[in-house]
Structure 1
Amino acid sequence: MTIQVWSKRLALVLAAASTLIGGSIAQAQSSDSQAIHGGDITVGIHNQVPWGYRNADGSVSGVGPDMIRAVLGQVGVKKINFVVVDFDALIPSLLSKRIDAVASGLAITPTRCKQVIFSNPDLAIGDALLVKKGNPLNIHSYADVAKNPAIRFGGGRGSSAVEHAIAAGIPKDRILLLKDVESSVGAILAGRIDADTESASTVISTLKDPNVGNRLERATPFTGLVKNGQQVANYAAIAFRTEDSKLRDLYNAGLAKMKDDGSIKKVFEKYGFGETEMAPTDVTAKAVCGADYR
């Protein structure tokens, strides 16, 4: 992909965008971005619900695709091409310019901050618990489990949720490690465990299955591992190449507008996310990336 300047048409659209999204993006009227050519952009997804996936009819759904459409659609990007890429190939595909952005639930991490640039986060994906309907043992935190040895607890082998549970004070020898979420669901239904820890997104997706949702529920409210006064979470965001910082800034302005007017909630609700999963406004990509923010 060779470097191209923005078309005259897109430049006019970007000029108008300062009115549509706000004066904060007025400086984005010209860009060194290679991402958009005449109003088109190519976005990578990894074909997983609820992040970014292709439906049976060929259409694309997911939190990431819907956010890209909602934000960039405001500034005249008419055509968004979605490409399915293996998860571990998303960043390499971005860096090699096969795609222009990643919109598939990619979490901001220190390692990734050294490779790409991120928009501000939209979702904060923390831990959640699966319990039997009615939450009979009244479990609402890792602390509840830690102080009650009668609670039988499980989680995915090697998962960050289990690591968080241990860090929060649940002894390792009280945690039944399971192969996958299907095994965890089976263990709860069979009475082998009373609660299973997973990421919030996994719990939400799992409960959409009526065979599970009719018998299990998410423990709410729930307090997971707390550090520095905040619950530990993965912050999902859109990733761009480092040279596309003006495009990233344009996206951030649109994201801020959606947060301000509340329209972002409609996107989240469509995929089962609520207030609990909304990233706090004071958590920015700069704050998460620290010295590696660009």
Structure 2
Amino acid sequence: MTWSRRDFLRRGVALGGGALVAGCATPGGSTLDLAREAGIITLGIANEAPYGFTGPDGRVTGEAVEVARAVFAAFDIPEIRPVTVDFGELVPGLTLARQFDLIAAGMFVTPERCASVAFSVPDYTAPTAFLVPAGNPQGVGTFDDVRDRALRLAVLGGAVEYRYALDSGIPDPQIQQLADQQALLLAVADGRADCAALTNISLKNALAGAPGSPVEVTPGSFPVVGGRTVVSAGAFAARPGDDDLLDAVNTQLRAMQGSGEWLRIAQPFGFGPDNIPGPDVTTDGLCGS
């Protein structure tokens, strides 16, 4: 059975404490020490653009993969070895099967996942944006705009934007649930929807693959739903107890975000300055601590 990103939370709860027990000591030394000795770090990815995927030339790339390459090169680990699994198999592959040393797949930090893995500091934030006709003739910037102007909204089926829309008061008949990013783009480009909602990263990635489309992506922002601002952020994930590895990732990731190196690496994959986590976005906060 194939598990999607949307299925993961249900499965993650079931893994719970058992995954914590499985991920402590690494025989023969810490994960970081062994990686340094071998000159190789093994990464779990889900073949999902723009985070970690195999390109047309057969090379594994993506924002998380390229950031990881730079992180570990700074610690004298010149080679990464990607292992591709279904998204829902990333956590058990890390903590139970020990197929890889670190998850580098753009995984969102949530309290449920924090019960099973140890997350790095946030790698990126993922504000919500809207795909709109070129020039944004309806002036769409928030879910409230969609509601107040009675616009037709497209979202991915089962994605969080559907719940954001309903909780913002948009009537269900105005919402179209579509299969993938390409379907969202076509719906707006063809006039079957007035706008589409998704993370700004995903929408920019979709638009980059369709040059010349008569649409654009609005600036991203975190939606306010039910009076609460909803922040989404992704990070790298290690086994609980792999403190040396996590400290190394955190040290270098912070330095790269502060120096501008992170943005240089991430921009080709649709990330921009508004995807750099602010000082108020912390792993403890996202985990609910």
Instruction: Name the TM-score, length of structure 1 as normaliser.
Output: 0.82
Quote the residue 2:113 is aligned against: 112
The one-character-per-residue Cα deviations of 1:91-146 (angstroms, maximum 9, x if unpaired) are 11101211000101111111110111000111111322111111111111111112
Quote the residue 2:170 is aligned against: 170
- Please provide the CA RMSD for this pair: 2.3
SS of 2:242's equivalent in the other structure is helix
Range with greater deviation from structure 2 (78-87 or 108-117)? 78-87
Quote the residue 2:217 is aligned against: 218
SS of 1:36's equivalent in the other structure is helix
Judge conservation of contact 2:131–2:195 (CA < 8 Å) in 1: yes
The one-character-per-residue Cα deviations of 1:161-191 (angstroms, maximum 9, x if unpaired) are 1111222232223222323333332322332
Decide which of 228, 252, 256 is 1:254's aligned counterpart: 252
Quote the residue 1:285 is aligned against: 283
SS of 2:241's equivalent in the other structure is helix
Q: For 2:42 and 2:108, how far apart are their aligned partners in 1?
A: 20
Judge conservation of contact 1:168–1:224 (CA < 8 Å) in 2: no
- Shift in alpha-carbon separation, 1:57–1:152, aligned structure 2, 3 A: closer
- Shift in alpha-carbon separation, 1:259–1:181, aligned structure 2, 3 A: closer
Measure how far apart 1:210 and its partner are.
3.1
1:153-192 to structure 2, matched below 5 A, reads 153-192=153-192
Range with greater deviation from structure 2 (72-81 or 55-64)? 55-64
SS of 2:106's equivalent in the other structure is strand
Letter in 2 for 1:256: R
- Shift in alpha-carbon separation, 1:289–1:54, aligned structure 2, 3 A: same
Range with greater deviation from structure 2 (43-52 or 170-179)? 170-179
Larger radius of gyration: 1
Decide which of 231, 234, 240 is 1:236's aligned counterpart: 234
Quote the residue 1:3 is aligned against: 27
Range with greater deviation from structure 2 (92-101 or 32-41)? 32-41
Letter in 1 for 2:181: V
Measure how far apart 1:40 and its partner are.
2.1
Letter in 2 for 1:76: D
Equivalent pairs: percent with the same residue? 31
- Shift in alpha-carbon separation, 1:129–1:208, aligned structure 2, 3 A: same
Judge conservation of contact 2:67–2:266 (CA < 8 Å) in 1: no
- Shift in alpha-carbon separation, 1:223–1:170, aligned structure 2, 3 A: farther
Measure how far apart 1:37 and its partner are.
5.3
Q: For 2:42 and 2:143, how far apart are their aligned partners in 1?
A: 41
Judge conservation of contact 2:36–2:77 (CA < 8 Å) in 1: no
Quote the residue 2:197 is aligned against: 197
Q: For 2:166 and 2:227, how far apart are their aligned partners in 1?
A: 18
Instruction: Name the TM-score, length of structure 2 as normaliser.
Output: 0.83
Letter in 1 for 2:59: S
SS of 1:3's equivalent in the other structure is coil
Q: For 1:41 and 1:189, how far apart are their aligned partners in 2?
A: 42
Task: Answer yes or no: is 1:71 the counterpart of 2:71.
Answer: yes
Measure how far apart 1:252 and its partner are.
0.4
Q: For 1:94 and 1:55, how far apart are their aligned partners in 2?
A: 24
Letter in 1 for 2:281: V
Measure how far apart 1:33 and its partner are.
5.4
Q: Which runs of 5+ in 1 are unaligned?
A: 6-30
The one-character-per-residue Cα deviations of 1:205-258 (angstroms, maximum 9, x if unpaired) are 1101235x53111023x5452269874232110000012022101110111111
Quote the residue 2:6 is aligned against: none
- Shift in alpha-carbon separation, 1:223–1:235, aligned structure 2, 3 A: closer
Quote the residue 1:136 is aligned against: 137
- Shift in alpha-carbon separation, 1:195–1:157, aligned structure 2, 3 A: same
Q: For 1:196 and 1:153, how far apart are their aligned partners in 2?
A: 5
- Shift in alpha-carbon separation, 1:267–1:229, aligned structure 2, 3 A: farther
Judge conservation of contact 2:132–2:194 (CA < 8 Å) in 1: yes
